[in-house]
């Protein structure tokens, strides 16, 4: 009993420390937000902190992506491809930054050049060389070193946000405080503990319905859930599965993620050079057991590499025409590896080891921290490797992921897969502009990858977003770019 009282007291103190600013805030139209990760790089948009700026709707990009991953107007109202390497973007009129300055082509050039010159570059520009030039005061021309049909999609990345001139300081430092163009002004940042945003009445679009956002960074999952349970927060990021049962059903919203828990099989060395034994693994996996026991039924059984976060994938997916017949294992010894940084993966490994042992393999498990296992996995030192893998990058397109993981020269080819037909299919998909034809080509490539049994997709992950019943129109975005929009509000 004494220990329980101490635990309750410590939790109460933790929450009061995290949310003391909000508790003294008299304006009930402000939204209280508890986020998982504190800023890692001073909220510079040239880092992963950019996604916070995007989720708060304080910084904006030239374009946004719709549910299909196609580009839609934002700070740019229209664009055209001038030739295979040049694109022209026409800018929206009467866009004011939070410092009162007007957006011009010069601002866009400055922001994008800062990204292209950053070290390291934003990941959306990895391997991409761009030249940005003003075309008068209301347009920019962007030229890529190589033909790139996804230039508009790349410009949707939160790491390519357009900020006022004052944001760009000496030595490449970028400070977004009061420098964005979105419906909320970032007005205060308190290190890694909290941030404050206020409604921007000069916004070019529809004005925000909430008067502001009070953000607290709460890495402890139990504390985030408790904040929602005790009405100390209105929206909570990433509620742990273990905490979901403590919340009311109306407070829980599951968002499908573009992340697939996949078993990669080594096709070049060891037991799984034999495609028939790879097929035996395919047939041995009990996905439902993993979803029920490891993910407490808060995941989706995988039928392909791409899951429900990409709604078009299931509609276009075709069954593998001639799936390879499995050979019955006869006691072959295999190494099954994963990493401990994601708490659920070692548990997945335990269940998989049991399933594969029942099928006739002898399984040796290897679990290390990711930093100590990645190089061995990429070098092909394991027979099988469990990975939770993001299937779309910042462009909203899965071709880069597929090429990285399954092309002969892929930089993340844990399966050591090299099949000319797959390479050809991926190259064809990469050359097609965004749209229905590209999506069909992507699914044709997925079909060939699945037929190889080099990667066995097991389940698609979800994230649990906690919301007060008083919240209206919060964003539930699989890409984790949007969370609070101008329409998000409280109705108590």
Q: Running along the chain, 492 residues long, what does each successive block of 10 average in pLDDT?
A: 39 45 62 92 90 96 92 97 96 98 97 92 84 96 94 94 94 92 96 95 96 95 93 94 90 94 97 98 97 94 96 95 95 96 92 98 96 94 95 83 92 95 95 93 98 98 94 93 95 84
Task: Let me know: does 195 contact 38? Beta carbons within 8 Å.
Answer: no
pLDDT of residue 170: 82
Q: 343 and 456, same structural domain?
A: yes
CATH number assigned to the domain comprising residue 34: 3.40.190.10
pLDDT of residue 420: 97
Q: 449 and 389, same structural domain?
A: yes
CATH number assigned to the domain comprising residue 370: 3.10.105.10
In a domain, 361, yes or no: yes
Range of the domain at 312: 257-462
Task: Let me know: does 259 contact 390? Beta carbons within 8 Å.
Answer: yes
Q: 298 and 181, same structural domain?
A: no
Task: Let me know: does 422 contact 448? Beta carbons within 8 Å.
Answer: yes
In a domain, 148, yes or no: yes
What value does the CA radius of gyration of the chain take, rounded to a whole number of Å? 24
In a domain, 10, yes or no: no
In this structure, which long-range contacts are made by residues 431-434, counting pairs with CB atoms below 8 Å and at least 24 apart in sequence? 431/147, 431/149, 432/149, 433/149, 434/69, 434/70, 434/71, 434/149, 434/150, 434/152, 434/153, 434/397
Structural domains in the chain (count): 2
Q: 215 and 265, same structural domain?
A: no
Q: 115 and 95, same structural domain?
A: yes
In a domain, 40, yes or no: yes
E strands present in 201-314: 212-217, 235-236, 252-265, 299-301
**Max Cα–Cα distance, the chain, nearest Å:** 73
Question: Each residue of 336-391: pLDDT tens digit?
Answer: 999 998 889 999 999 999 999 999 999 999 999 998 999 999 999 999 999 999 89
**Residue 64, φ and ψ in degrees, nearest 5:** -125, 175
pLDDT of residue 214: 97
Q: 395 and 425, same structural domain?
A: yes
pLDDT of residue 13: 41
pTM exceeding 0.85? no
Q: 437 and 383, same structural domain?
A: yes
pLDDT of residue 126: 76
In a domain, 155, yes or no: yes
Residue in 474, 437, 485, 400 with CA at minimum distance from that of residue 64? 485
First-to-last C-alpha distance (Å) of the chain: 36
Token couple for 398 = 């899965």
Distance, C-alpha 298 to centroid of its chain: 18
């Amino acid at each position: 009993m004494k220990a329980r009282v101490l635990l309750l007291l410590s939790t109460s103190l933790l929450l009061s420390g995290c949310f003391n600013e909000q508790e003294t805030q008299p304006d009930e139209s402000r939204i209280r937000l508890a986020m998982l990760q504190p800023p890692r790089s001073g909220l510079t948009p040239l880092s992963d902190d950019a996604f916070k700026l995007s989720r708060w709707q304080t910084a904006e990009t030239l374009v946004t992506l719709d549910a299909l991953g196609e580009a839609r107007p934002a700070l740019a109202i229209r664009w055209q491809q001038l030739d295979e390497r040049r694109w022209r973007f026409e800018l929206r009129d009467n866009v004011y930054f939070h410092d009162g300055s007007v957006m011009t082509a010069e601002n866009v050039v400055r922001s994008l050049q800062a990204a292209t010159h950053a070290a390291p570059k934003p990941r959306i520009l990895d391997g991409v060389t761009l030249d940005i030039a003003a075309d008068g005061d209301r347009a920019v021309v962007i030229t890529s070193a190589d033909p790139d049909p996804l230039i508009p999609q790349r410009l949707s990345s939160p790491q390519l946000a357009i900020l006022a001139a004052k944001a760009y300081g000496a030595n490449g430092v970028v400070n977004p405080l009061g420098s964005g163009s979105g419906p909320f002004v970032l007005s205060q940042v308190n290190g890694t503990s909290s941030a404050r945003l206020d409604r921007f009445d000069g916004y070019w679009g529809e004005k925000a319905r909430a008067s502001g956002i009070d953000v607290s960074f709460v890495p402890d999952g139990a504390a985030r859930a408790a904040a929602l349970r005790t009405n100390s927060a209105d929206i909570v990021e990433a509620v742990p599965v273990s905490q979901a049962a403590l919340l009311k059903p109306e407070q829980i919203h599951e968002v499908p993620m573009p992340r697939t828990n996949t078993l990669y099989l080594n096709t070049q060395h060891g037991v799984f050079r034999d495609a028939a034994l790879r097929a035996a693994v395919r047939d041995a996996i009990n996905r439902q057991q993993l979803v029920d026991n490891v993910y407490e039924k808060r995941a989706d059984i995988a039928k392909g590499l791409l899951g429900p976060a990409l709604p078009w994938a299931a509609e276009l997916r075709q069954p593998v025409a001639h799936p390879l017949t499995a050979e019955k294992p006869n006691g072959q010894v295999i190494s099954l590896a994963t990493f401990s940084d994601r708490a659920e993966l070692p548990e997945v490994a335990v269940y998989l080891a049991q399933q594969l042992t029942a099928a006739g393999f002898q399984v040796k498990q290897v679990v290390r921290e990711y930093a100590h296992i990645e190089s061995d996995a990429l070098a092909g030192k394991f027979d099988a490797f469990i990975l939770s893998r993001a299937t779309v990058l910042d462009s909203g397109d899965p071709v880069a992921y597929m090429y990285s993981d399954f092309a002969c020269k892929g930089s993340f080819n844990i399966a050591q897969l090299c099949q000319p037909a797959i390479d050809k299919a991926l190259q064809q998909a990469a050359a097609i502009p965004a749209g229905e034809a590209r999506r069909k080509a992507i699914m044709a490539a997925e079909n060939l990858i699945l037929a190889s049994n080099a990667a066995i997709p097991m389940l698609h992950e979800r994230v649990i977003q906690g919301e007060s019943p008083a919240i209206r129109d919060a964003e539930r975005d699989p890409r984790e770019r949007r969370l609070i929009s101008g329409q998000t509000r409280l109705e108590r």
